[in-house]
Structure 1
Amino acid sequence: MSWWEAILLGIVEGVTEFLPISSTGHLTVVEKLLGHTVDDPSITAFTAIIQVGAMIASIVYFWRDIVAMATAWFRGLFHAAARSDKDYRLGWAVIAGFIPTAVVALALQRFIEGPLRSLWAVVLGLVVWSVVMLLGDRLGKQNRGEDSITVKDGVALGLIQSIALVPGVSRSGATISGGMLMGLDRVTATRMSFFLGIPTLIASGLYEAAKEAKNIAAGAGWMATGIGTAVSFVVAYASIAWLLKYVSRHNFTAFVIYRLALAALIVALLVAGIVTAV
């Protein structure tokens, strides 16, 4: 893999990881257009590692929130009075949300890495979840803030997050729209999506990176992988800041339109034979 390909894929990962537009769908299409195959172990490893770069960006961006949650959580374990703290409940909600996602991911790993790797699955995920996002944006009451989040909310969002194992759905798209349907306001749903994503995607990225690391040297190479990861970190940090500002003022209609346009583009590429489905 050349350095410019690594930079391009790092930009794609950084921009799309946290926006509700499916990072998997974008990376799959771009990798195919560059002549790579998605079942190439070295490409799988490269993608997993640059994803960790985006996750580190979210940790850096939200480090104050993470420290507050961790501190409140540990304090609440030993002092009952501290359990009324919002951050204590948020900490438990994030833990509760991570568990069902991890269980589903491990249970369905072979299916995810098999039939669901088709670009037709990406198209289906983009279209179907665009409808769900629109419903969440229009029908959700959006009258709940972070102080109302419970462990039950965390479990529900974790189960919803597991739907994003289907390429094209988008992890952030699933959790944000799910949160809004549960009554969370846009900013709270978006922040909760980030909090749930930190343990989920770091665990996923490290697992895949450890499993496929041996293929890096023979494929993309450590230099290209390092460049892609660094670019992913920088771009993802900017993407997080932009998204939080955007959702405080706008709804998700623009993202829905973009997702449908992307689905149409992928169908056109498939029909024209420019890219293959698998």
Structure 2
Amino acid sequence: MSFIQIVILAIVQGLAELLPVSSSAHVIIAEKLMGLDPTAPNMTLLLVMLHTGTMFAVIIYFWQTWRTTYFSSAKTFRQNAFYIILATAVTGVVGLSLQSIIKHVYGHNAANFEIESLFGNTTVIASGLAAAGILIIFSSRFHEGENEQGQLSSARAMVIGLVQGLCLPFRGFSRSGATISTGLALGVTRKRVEEFSFALAVVLTPAVIAKEGFRLFHSTGVTPALAPSSLLPMLAPSLLGMVFSFIAGLVALRWLSRWLEQDRWHLFGGYCIFASLMIFWLG
């Protein structure tokens, strides 16, 4: 990979991962346009580092807000931790169940079938983008909740976790777009659901990184003990990508917060639908 290709992928990942427009869809299309193989070991390592960069961007951006919202008292911390754990548990059940169903239907329960084999399917990507766009536009028509009615509850956390689980196997169906839209439709305030959506992302991202890391070891055929010497030549470009994805992630989060505050959330939905039509057209 060239320097410019790494920078492009890092910026695309950093922006699209945190904006409600599906990073997977944009990264896959960018890889295809640049003639890169997403299954290559260097691409897998780069993806791991890009996810790490955006995770750090989320932590830095929301840290002060989370301190006020989640750590103001022991009671508040326990309550919010419960909501996050509850939503994540529902996500795990739904996501793993869907992946099992997909493996049974499309992979015929083959031992070597991986859900990632469907990631390059442009029809799946375009359909996911269209679904996310419709959900975003639909949710933007709901009035913001107020006072107690605009806060989270166990039921709302479970529904948000369920929708997040639907996003896991379907590339193009934006996680942030779906979870924030679901919260808005349920009457949760914009600020509260944004904080909660990205708190869920920080919890979920290490599992995604670990999964991609496992795929990396599997694809290179090396053991963890031999990994440092085998992966060292690929490490510097990936670290560079992580830095750029971190910077792009901070820009994306500021952009998202502004449009939520300024009642422009529906514009992300319009972009998703436009992007899905373009992908359908390009094939």
Q: Name the TM-score, length of structure 2 as normaliser.
A: 0.81
Q: Does 1:103 align with 2:93?
A: yes
Map of 2:108 onto structure 1: none
Whole-Å separation in 1 of the counterparts to 2:237 and 2:154: 41
- What is the identity, as a one-letter code, of the residue corresponding to 1:150? S
SS in 2 for 1:21: coil
Q: Does 1:175 align with 2:179?
A: yes
Q: 1:157 to 1:145 in 2, by over 3 A?
A: farther
Q: 1:65 to 1:5 in 2, by over 3 A?
A: same
Map of 2:236 onto structure 1: 223
Whole-Å separation in 2 of the counterparts to 1:232 and 1:178: 26
| Within-5 A mapping of 1:43-192 | 43-67=43-67, 71=71, 75=74, 83=75, 85=76, 87-109=77-99, 111=102, 112-138=115-141, 140-144=142-146, 148-165=151-168, 166-192=170-196
Q: Deviations over 1:100-157 (max 9, x none)?
A: 223333444464323354111010011122112211111x342146872123322211
Q: Does 1:200 align with 2:204?
A: yes
Map of 2:272 onto structure 1: 259
What do you get for the CA RMSD once the two structures are aligned? 2.6
Whole-Å separation in 2 of the counterparts to 1:89 and 1:234: 32
- What is the identity, as a one-letter code, of the residue corresponding to 1:126? L
Tell which deviates more after alignment, 212-221 or 32-41: 212-221
Whole-Å separation in 1 of the counterparts to 2:23 and 2:140: 21
Q: 1:193 to 1:37 in 2, by over 3 A?
A: same
Give yes or no for contact 2:94–2:166 (8 Å, CA) kept in 1: no
- What is the identity, as a one-letter code, of the residue corresponding to 2:245? S
Map of 1:80 onto structure 2: none
Whole-Å separation in 2 of the counterparts to 1:97 and 1:250: 26
Q: Deviations over 1:49-108 (max 9, x none)?
A: 2111101111111223444566468x3xxxxxxx3x3x4422221121112223333444
Q: Deviations over 1:221-256 (max 9, x none)?
A: 211111111100111012112211221012322112
Tell which deviates more after alignment, 231-240 or 183-192: 183-192
Map of 2:105 onto structure 1: none
Whole-Å separation in 1 of the counterparts to 2:268 and 2:24: 16
Q: 1:141 to 1:54 in 2, by over 3 A?
A: same
Whole-Å separation in 2 of the counterparts to 1:116 and 1:2: 23
Whole-Å separation in 1 of the counterparts to 2:153 and 2:57: 26
Q: Does 1:3 align with 2:3?
A: yes
Give yes or no for contact 2:134–2:273 (8 Å, CA) kept in 1: no
Gaps of 5+ in 1: 76-82, 271-278
Map of 2:249 onto structure 1: 236
Q: 1:23 to 1:187 in 2, by over 3 A?
A: same
Whole-Å separation in 1 of the counterparts to 2:212 and 2:7: 21
Tell which deviates more after alignment, 24-33 or 244-253: 244-253
Whole-Å separation in 1 of the counterparts to 2:67 and 2:88: 18
Map of 1:276 onto structure 2: none
Aligned length, in residue pairs: 259
Tell which deviates more after alignment, 36-45 or 183-192: 36-45
Tell which deviates more after alignment, 248-257 or 142-151: 142-151
Q: 1:135 to 1:267 in 2, by over 3 A?
A: same
Whole-Å separation in 2 of the counterparts to 1:59 and 1:108: 29
- What is the identity, as a one-letter code, of the residue corresponding to 1:241? R
Gaps of 5+ in 2: 103-114, 221-226
Whole-Å separation in 2 of the counterparts to 1:120 and 1:26: 14
Q: 1:70 to 1:137 in 2, by over 3 A?
A: closer
Q: 1:204 to 1:232 in 2, by over 3 A?
A: same
- What is the identity, as a one-letter code, of the residue corresponding to 1:93? Y
SS in 2 for 1:226: helix
